[in-house]
Amino acid sequence: MRMLKRIVIGLCIVLVLVSCTPKPVELATKTPSESQTETQETSTTTEIPEATQVSAPDQAGWWTDAVFYEIFVRSFYDSDGDGVGDFQGIIEKLDYLNDGDPNTNGDLGITAIWLMPINPSPSYHGYDITNYFAVNPEYGTMTDFKQLLEEAHKRGIHVIMDFVINHTSSQNPWFVQAQDKTSGFHDWYVWSPEKPNVAGPWGQNAWYQAGNGLFYYAIFWSGMPDLNFKNAQVNQTIFNISRFWLDNVGVDGFRVDAARYLHGEFDLQQDTEDTLTWFRTWRQVVKDTNPEAFTVGEVWTDVKTQSRYGGGTGLDSLFMFDLSDAILGNVFAPVPLGIMGAYEDAIYYFPDGQFSTFLTNHDTQRVMSFFGGNVTKAKVAAFIYLTGPGIPFVYYGEEIGMVGSKPDEYIRTPMQWSANEHGGFSTTASWEALNDNYEDSNVADQDGDPDSILNLYREVIALRNAHSALRTGAYLPLQSDCRQLYPVLRVGDDEILVTLVNVGRLSMEDCTLSLGSSSLSGEYSLQSIWGEAFSSTITFDANGAVSGFVLPIALEAGQMVVAELIKK
């Protein structure tokens, strides 16, 4: 009898449902590990909150001042010589990101990490999850992961994890059992007796036939069936997964994958009102569990549509895909006005500055490949987004100029730590071959080179960390007769900075700066604090306007300067 009771309890825990309904329990086949069971038995479940119970917008959290670093665990550092990166490998390299000592300058200055999927998965990338309450055994144990959190927190580094909830793996026990029409899991997915004559959100096939003869909805791939968020048990399970990682494990938040597709089937597949309502409800769950938890969403669309997901009532932040395209394209072109316009669009729709910026990520061509190996352009792009408003995210290896283009495996290759065999990533052949340029582009070689892209990232991130105006100050683009000059005022509560960079290929001199109006007035001293030394005086009229101020320095192609304005 005691053994039977243990079995029933274990099966209930796997489902993490409010009432442990009979049919799903009878069909569940996978039992959590002892450590998972212990934490799940102590978790509580509640009724699904009403959407009207959403908390009022929070004050800006820790993430407003953070610089994030996106890590693909499999590719960051292999600590045990099996060719696969792991949690212990990240721990060994934490001091590279931030050693926790503000008096040193040899680290990157990162203050937060986004980990790509860490749950068990049959795929190398991890975006098809088989168990939401466990970690990928290739990366280590739950104990290893908790040690990573502890060591990161010691250094002032927050850690968020990828939250892949739009779909599961087709090998997930939920989906395996869902193919039985009598199963309590059947309605956890979206089914049709015949294949609907409707394409997916971007024109792709979205319906696949299962072994039971029915067709299931899966917009990304047959191996990733979409969950049915109209099902109350699905919602409660996702809520409990959220609580588990925030409360029991201790992560600092989530990056939500494919956020715009949660409620979708047939003709309405993205950005539905039900999806927006879901995120408002989920926000309540997250903030009730940990008011300091951060959520950032992948809503890969225009900024106007993205704004529907934020605003202090849904996700804390959204990735600015339009802005990323504008920075890269207009540094390549070069047209600084295009970058300024994209920033102003983001600020218009997110006036509180709660948006996330990046150059590239695990789904897009790497920066150095986009610029055809042009280091100067890669540095310019980095300077622009690391001194701009929003919450910047650095994709691992971007800071050393790693290259990579589609397919995805080639933009997720192992980190290049040295010119040694296996690139210093591992002591054996890695899960994916390193880039051909690892002997010329790696951390060890760039570390001591003051002109390297690595040291450019270190210096600019240090500037951002030291100056609140670069993190949260108002963004005021200046006009110039030098059309390939990017001049921007960042006006904070207690400091005013101007960022300057020559985006073009030719040197510039006698460039004028003008501004139509602002909150400034009177005479200011203007003195560089980073880059070429210079000093001058600039005067704003009663309307905060400046007309025809001439920069006292010439700027070479790609040259960057940050200067401070101090009221006289």
Domain boundary among 412, 431, 466: 466
What does the block give as tokens for 121?
């998965």
Residue 16 has pLDDT above 70, yes or no: no
Tell me the three state secondary structure of residue 91.
Answer: helix
Q: Kindly state whether residues 558 and 430 are assigned to the same domain.
A: no
Tell me the three state secondary structure of residue 226.
Answer: strand
Q: Kindly state whether residues 389 and 338 are assigned to the same domain.
A: yes
Q: Which pLDDT band, with edges at 50, 70 and 90, does 264 fall under? A: confident
Tell me the three state secondary structure of residue 140.
Answer: coil
- Cα 80 to Cα 28, 138, 307, 411, 488: the distances in Å are 34, 10, 44, 23, 47
Q: Kindly state whether residues 345 and 436 are assigned to the same domain.
A: yes
pTM above 0.85?
A: yes
In this structure, of 28-37, 242-251, 443-452, the range with the lowest mean pLDDT score is 28-37
Query: Could you give the number of structural domains in the chain?
Result: 2
pLDDT given at position 149: 98
Q: Which long-range contacts (CB under 8 A, 24 or more apart) does 407-414 make?
A: 408/125, 408/362, 408/363, 409/124, 411/360, 411/362, 411/363, 411/364, 411/365, 411/366, 412/72, 412/74, 412/75, 412/125, 412/362, 413/75, 414/75, 414/76, 414/78, 414/85
Q: How far apart are CA 264 and CA 367, in angstroms?
A: 33
Is 450 exposed, middle or buried (CB count within 10 Å of its CB: 0-12, 13-18, 19+)? exposed
Q: How far apart are CA 402 and CA 360, in angstroms?
A: 12
Domain boundary among 466, 489, 506: 466
Q: Kindly state whether residues 279 and 427 are assigned to the same domain.
A: yes
Per residue in 331-344, pLDDT (tens digit) is 999 999 999 999 99
Dihedral sign computed on CA atoms, order 114, 49, 247, 130: negative
pLDDT given at position 12: 36
Q: Which pLDDT band, with edges at 50, 70 and 90, does 14 fall under? A: very low
Q: Kindly state whether residues 415 and 504 are assigned to the same domain.
A: no
Q: Tell me the helix, strand and coil percentages in the chain, rounded to 5.
A: 35, 20, 50
Q: Kindly state whether residues 454 and 481 are assigned to the same domain.
A: no
Q: What is the mean pLDDT of residues 422-440?
A: 96
Domain boundary among 466, 497, 515: 466
- Please list the active-site residues: 257, 298
Q: Kindly state whether residues 497 and 457 are assigned to the same domain.
A: no
Q: Which pLDDT band, with edges at 50, 70 and 90, does 27 fall under? A: very low
Kindly state the helix (H) or strand (E) to which residue 70 belongs, with its residue range.
strand 68-71
- Residue 33 in domain: no
Per residue in 375-389, pLDDT (tens digit) is 999 999 999 999 999
Closest by Cα among 148, 165, 184, 14 to 71: 148
Tell me the three state secondary structure of residue 45.
Answer: coil
- Residue 224 in domain: no
pLDDT given at position 60: 74
Half-sphere exposure of 224 (CA within 13 A, CB side): 20
| Residue corresponding to tokens 């200067």 | 563
Q: Kindly state whether residues 483 and 425 are assigned to the same domain.
A: no
Contact 388, 345 (CB under 8 A): no
Per residue in 56-75, pLDDT (tens digit) is 344 579 999 999 999 999 99
Dmax over CA atoms of the chain, in Å, equals 88
Half-sphere exposure of 529 (CA within 13 A, CB side): 20
pLDDT given at position 357: 98
- Residue 211 in domain: no
Per residue in 188-211, pLDDT (tens digit) is 999 999 999 989 999 999 999 999
- Residue 10 in domain: no
- Residue 24 in domain: no
CATH of the domain at 546: 2.60.40.1180
CATH of the domain at 74: 3.20.20.80
Per residue in 111-166, pLDDT (tens digit) is 999 999 999 999 999 999 999 999 999 999 999 999 999 999 999 999 999 999 99
pLDDT above 90 coverage of the chain, percent:
87
Residue 103 has pLDDT above 60, yes or no: yes
pLDDT above 70 coverage of the chain, percent:
89
Q: Kindly state whether residues 488 and 348 are assigned to the same domain.
A: no
Q: How far apart are CA 522 and CA 541, in angstroms?
A: 6
Closest by Cα among 415, 390, 394 to 457: 394
How many CB atoms lie under 10 A from the CB of residue 129? 26
Closest by Cα among 435, 424, 561, 411 to 497: 561
Q: Which pLDDT band, with edges at 50, 70 and 90, does 228 fall under? A: very high
Domain extent, residue 143, equals 62-166+229-466
Tell me the three state secondary structure of residue 79.
Answer: coil
What does the block give as tokens for 418?
């040295």
Q: Give the mean pLDDT of the chain.
A: 90
Per residue in 443-462, pLDDT (tens digit) is 999 999 999 999 999 999 99
Instruction: List CB contacts of 138: < 8 A, sequence separation 6 or more.
Output: 74, 82, 84, 86
pLDDT given at position 266: 67
Closest by Cα among 225, 221, 224, 161 to 192: 225
What does the block give as tokens for 290?
């940990």
Letter string b/e over residues 238-265, b meaning 16 or more CB atoms within 10 A of that residue's CB? bbbbbbbbbbbeebbbbbbbbbbbbbbb
- Residue 1 in domain: no
Q: Kindly state whether residues 342 and 359 are assigned to the same domain.
A: yes
Q: What is the mean pLDDT of residues 358-382?
A: 98
Q: Could you give the angle at which helices 321-332 and 336-349 cross, rounded to 10 degrees?
A: 170
- Before 552, cis peptide (omega within 30)? no
Q: Kindly state whether residues 267 and 318 are assigned to the same domain.
A: yes
- Residue 15 in domain: no
Q: Which pLDDT band, with edges at 50, 70 and 90, does 40 fall under? A: very low
pLDDT given at position 59: 56
Q: How far apart are CA 78 and CA 84, in angstroms?
A: 5
Closest by Cα among 4, 5, 10 to 32: 10
Q: Kindly state whether residues 106 and 148 are assigned to the same domain.
A: yes
Q: What is the mean pLDDT of residues 515-532?
A: 96
- Residue 195 in domain: no
- Cα 273 to Cα 167, 223, 261, 278: the distances in Å are 19, 27, 11, 8
pLDDT given at position 312: 83
Per residue in 169-183, pLDDT (tens digit) is 999 999 999 999 999
Residue 281 has pLDDT above 90, yes or no: yes
Contact 419, 348 (CB under 8 A): no
